[in-house]
C-alpha cells in the first residue's frame, strides 16, 4: 500500500505550481502533488549515487520498457525501431509540425483541448483549424461530418488527436478512432496522437491506442507517449515518439535531431525504465485514489454547489466543470475565485472558444488539499454570485 494522503511541501523546490504566494492553493497545471513511485525514486537515487553525469545514450532497456508496458497494459505490439526518444511531448509536437508541414498550412485540433497545441501550431507559422467537439446531455463527442469537411481542405495537412482528451477526460472509442483514421488517410492528413494521459484512466477503464485500431491508423500516424503524467515526472523531460511508417519515421527522427530534442538527461532513462517495469502497482493504486477524489468532488458539487456541473469523464486527473449557469466569462470567474479565496484553477476558454463558461480543476492531490480546494471553490462561487 502506497500513501497518497501524505502531504509533501513543494514550496521552495522551484516548482511552477507551488513557488507562489502563501495561501494560494494551485489546482491548475497538470502535475500531481504526490511523490512519484518509490521504485522510481530509488532508480534515480542509484543513478545519482554513481556521481558521473556525462552524455547519455538510449539503451535497450528503454525500448524494452515501452514495448513491455504497451503490450501488457494496452495490448499494442511495438517494434523497437518505431520508437524515438524525445525530451517531451510538446517539443515533439513542435518539431513534427516544423518537419512535416509547411508554413501557412492548417493543423486541426478538436476543442476544448490542451491549450499548448495552439502554441506548437501558431508559433511555427501554421494556422489552427478549431474543430469543436459536440457537447450534448453532459458529454462530448466528435462532429464527424464537420470533421470530414475540414479535413477535405487541401491546406489541412495534420491533425492533433488528444487521446484520452484533456480537459474533458474522454476516452475515444474504437469506431470513432477508426473513422478519424480513415478520413485523415483519405485526405492525406497525418495524425499526431498525443497519448500522454493514457495510463491515467479510471480503474478498470482502458484507452485504445490510435495505432492499434487499424493498419490505416497505424501507418498514417505518429504517437506521443511518456511516463510523465502518470508517474509525475514532467520535470525529468522524458518522452517517446512512436512512428510505425519508415518514411514518416525518418523525417521525425531527423526533425527531432535537428531541433536537439532527441537526447536524454542522465536521469530520464533510469526513471522511465523504472516506471514502466516496476511502477505498475503504484499506478493502479494511484488510479484508485484519483477515482475516489473524483467521487468526492462529484458529491460535493452536487450537494454544495448545485449551480455547477461536473462533466462525466473516464480518464485523467483533470476535471472539467460546467459553470455556465454561473457565468459565461470563465476568465473572470477563475480570476475572482483566485482573488477571493486563493484557489488557482484553469479558466476554460484557454482550451478553445467552446470552453467558455467551464473551469478545469486538477484533483491529483492528497484528500486534505482536495477538501480545502472544494471549500474554497464553494466560497468563490458563492461570492461570485453575490457580485464580489
Ligand atoms: C495533452 C498533453 N500533451 C502534452 C503535455 C505536456 O507534455 P510534456 O511535458 O512532455 O511536453 C500535457 C501536459 O499537461 C498534456 O496535457
Instruction: Give the model confidence (pLDDT) of 83-97 as tens digits.
Output: 999 999 999 999 999
Here the cell at position 337 is: 475565485
Distance 191 CA to ligand 1 centre (A): 17
Tell me if 224 CB under 6 Å of ligand 1: no
> From CA 104, how far away is CA 118, in angstroms rounded?
14
How much is the pLDDT for 261?
98
Judge if pTM exceeds 0.85: yes
Tell me if 232 CB under 6 Å of ligand 1: no
Here the cell at position 344 is: 488557482
How much is the pLDDT for 57?
96
Q: What are phi and psi of 107, to 5 degrees?
A: -120, 130
Work out whether strand 346-347 and strand 358-362 pair parallel, antiparallel, or are unpaired: antiparallel
How much is the pLDDT for 320?
98
Tell me if 161 CB under 6 Å of ligand 1: no
Cβ count near 128 (within 10 Å):
17
Please check the confidence at residue 388 and state whether its pLDDT lies above 90.
no
Distance 337 CA to ligand 1 centre (A): 25
Instruction: Give the model confidence (pLDDT) of 239-297 as tens digits.
Output: 999 999 999 999 999 999 999 999 999 999 999 999 999 999 999 999 999 999 999 99
Tell me if 196 CB under 6 Å of ligand 1: yes
Q: Which domains does the chain have, with CATH numbers?
A: 25-37+280-385 (3.90.1150.10), 41-278 (3.40.640.10)
Is the CB of residue 338 less than 8 Å from the CB of residue 350?
no
How much is the pLDDT for 138?
87
Of all residues in the chain, what percent carry a pLDDT higher than 90?
Answer: 99
Distance 103 CA to ligand 1 centre (A): 23
Please check the confidence at residue 360 and state whether its pLDDT lies above 90.
yes
Sign of the dihedral through C-alpha 44, 50, 56, 57: negative
DSSP string, 240-288: EEE--SHHHHHHHHHHHHHTT-S---TTHHHHHHHHHHH-HHHHHHHHH
CA atoms within 13 A on the CB side of 122: 9
Average the pLDDT over 352-366 and give the result: 97
Atom number in ligand 1 closest to CA 91:
11
Here the cell at position 166 is: 484533456
Sign of the dihedral through C-alpha 20, 229, 210, 314: negative
How much is the pLDDT for 93?
98
How much is the pLDDT for 51?
98
Distance 351 CA to ligand 1 centre (A): 13
- Alpha carbon 94 to chain centroid distance? 16
The total number of residues shown for the chain amounts to 388
Tell me if 228 CB under 6 Å of ligand 1: yes
> What is the average pLDDT value for the chain, to the nearest integer?
97
| Closest C-alpha to 158, from 105, 219, 118 | 105
Distance 228 CA to ligand 1 centre (A): 8
Instruction: Give the model confidence (pLDDT) of 305-357 as tens digits.
Output: 999 999 999 999 999 999 999 999 999 999 999 999 999 999 999 999 999 99
Tell me if 318 CB under 6 Å of ligand 1: no
R_g of the chain, CA atoms, integer Å: 21
How much is the pLDDT for 199?
98
Amino acid at each position: 500500500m502506497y500513501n497518497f494522503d501524505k502531504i509533501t511541501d513543494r514550496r521552495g523546490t522551484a516548482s511552477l505550481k507551488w513557488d507562489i504566494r502563501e495561501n494560494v492553493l494551485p489546482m491548475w497545471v497538470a502535475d500531481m502533488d504526490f511523490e512519484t513511485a518509490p521504485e522510481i525514486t530509488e532508480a534515480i537515487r542509484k543513478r545519482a549515487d554513481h556521481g558521473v553525469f556525462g552524455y547519455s545514450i538510449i539503451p535497450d532497456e528503454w525500448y524494452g520498457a515501452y514495448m513491455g508496458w504497451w503490450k501488457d497494459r494496452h495490448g499494442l505490439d511495438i517494434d523497437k525501431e518505431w520508437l524515438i526518444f524525445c525530451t517531451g511531448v510538446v517539443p515533439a509536437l513542435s518539431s513534427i509540425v516544423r518537419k512535416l508541414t509547411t508554413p501557412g498550412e492548417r493543423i486541426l485540433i478538436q476543442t476544448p483541448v490542451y491549450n499548448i497545441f495552439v502554441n506548437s501550431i501558431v508559433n511555427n507559422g501554421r494556422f489552427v483549424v478549431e474543430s469543436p467537439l459536440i457537447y450534448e446531455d453532459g458529454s462530448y463527442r466528435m462532429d464527424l461530418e464537420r470533421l470530414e469537411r475540414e479535413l477535405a481542405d487541401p491546406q489541412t495537412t495534420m491533425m492533433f488527436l488528444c487521446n484520452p482528451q484533456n480537459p474533458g477526460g474522454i476516452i475515444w472509442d474504437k469506431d470513432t478512432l477508426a473513422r478519424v483514421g480513415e478520413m485523415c488517410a483519405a485526405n492525406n492528413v497525418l495524425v499526431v496522437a498525443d497519448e500522454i494521459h493514457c495510463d491515467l484512466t479510471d480503474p478498470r477503464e482502458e484507452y485504445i491506442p490510435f495505432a492499434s485500431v487499424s493498419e490505416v491508423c497505424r501507418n498514417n500516424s505518429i504517437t506521443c507517449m511518456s511516463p510523465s503524467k502518470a508517474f509525475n515526472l514532467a520535470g525529468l523531460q522524458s518522452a517517446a515518439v512512436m512512428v510505425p511508417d519508415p518514411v514518416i519515421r525518418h523525417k521525425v527522427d531527423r526533425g527531432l535531431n535537428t531541433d536537439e530534442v532527441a537526447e536524454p538527461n542522465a536521469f530520464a532513462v533510469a526513471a522511465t525504465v523504472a516506471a514502466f517495469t516496476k511502477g505498475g502497482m503504484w499506478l493502479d493504486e494511484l488510479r484508485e485514489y484519483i477515482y475516489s477524489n473524483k467521487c468526492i468532488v462529484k458529491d460535493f458539487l452536487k450537494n454544495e454547489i448545485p449551480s455547477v456541473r461536473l462533466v462525466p469523464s473516464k480518464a485523467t486527473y483533470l476535471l472539467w466543470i460546467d459553470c455556465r449557469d454561473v457565468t459565461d466569462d470563465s476568465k473572470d470567474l477563475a480570476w475572482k475565485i483566485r482573488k477571493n479565496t486563493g484557489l488557482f484553477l484553469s479558466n476554460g476558454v484557454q482550451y478553445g472558444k467552446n470552453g467558455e463558461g467551464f473551469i478545469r480543476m486538477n484533483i491529483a492531490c492528497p484528500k486534505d488539499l482536495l477538501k480545502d480546494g472544494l471549500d474554497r471553490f464553494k466560497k468563490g462561487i458563492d461570492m461570485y454570485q453575490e457580485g464580489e
